[in-house]
Amino acid sequence: MPVSEATYRRLVLEDPDSKWELICGYLRRKPAMRFEHYQTAIELAFMLREHLGLRDYLIRVDAGRVRRAGPRYFIPDVYVAAMDSVLRQFPEPGMLEAYPEPLLLVVEVWSPSTAGYDVTERLREYQARGDREVWLLHPYERTLTRWVQQAGGSYTERHQQGGIVTPASLPAVHIDLDALFSMVRPEPRDRE
């Protein structure tokens, strides 16, 4: 049964520990993830924090939401916002942390439980929102696929395996993908 945006916002504020997303009026709970998924997201956040000023940038891991008309609310694995934008969007205490404005970097970490809609749904929504750069990190394949927004609003797609990557909108940041994936073990295989 569809729910209104107002009902969704009230539900999220009343039940802050649940990871509810909203897709065109329908609730979807973000599933729990494997160790490698969380490890990759947390390590990326630590690496981002090393390069970004605490007062200038907000980094979130599996918290807050991005909003797009429709209404659609997603909880990215990691994202970065400029602090001046954050303060402008949330001028009052107690507001639901849901960003309608484009973010500097939005990251999803590949997971078997969300792979079906991360690429087909989430990543496309982030681009439609106008987020400056969108990443899909695949911890088991140790790869990064990134979509970087161009001047006209279109996105270029780039693939990288290992080495250093610098987000286009965060030129002071240098992420070592080999170090990022160093804690990840090979993907478990189903036993026959």
pLDDT in tens, 95-142: 999 999 999 999 999 987 666 666 678 888 999 999 999 999 999 899
pLDDT at 80 over 50: yes
pLDDT score recorded for residue 104: 98
CB distance 18 to 8 below 8 Å: no
Distance between CA 14 and CA 5 in Å, rounded? 14
Let me know if domain 32-180 sits in CATH 3.90.1570.10: yes
Domains of the chain, by residue range, sit at 32-180
What is the phi-psi region of residue 94: left when phi exceeds 0, alpha when psi lies from -120 to 50, beta otherwise? left
In the three-class reduction of DSSP (H, G, I as helix; E, B as strand; rest coil), residue 145 is classed as: strand
Pairing state between β 65-68 and 98-99: parallel
d(CA 137, CA 142) in angstroms, rounded, equals: 7
Give residue 74's region: left, alpha or beta (phi > 0; psi -120 to 50).
beta
Render pLDDT for 19-65 as a digit per residue (tens, 0 to 9).
Answer: 999 988 889 888 777 888 899 999 999 999 999 988 999 999 999 99
Write down the mean pLDDT value for the chain.
90
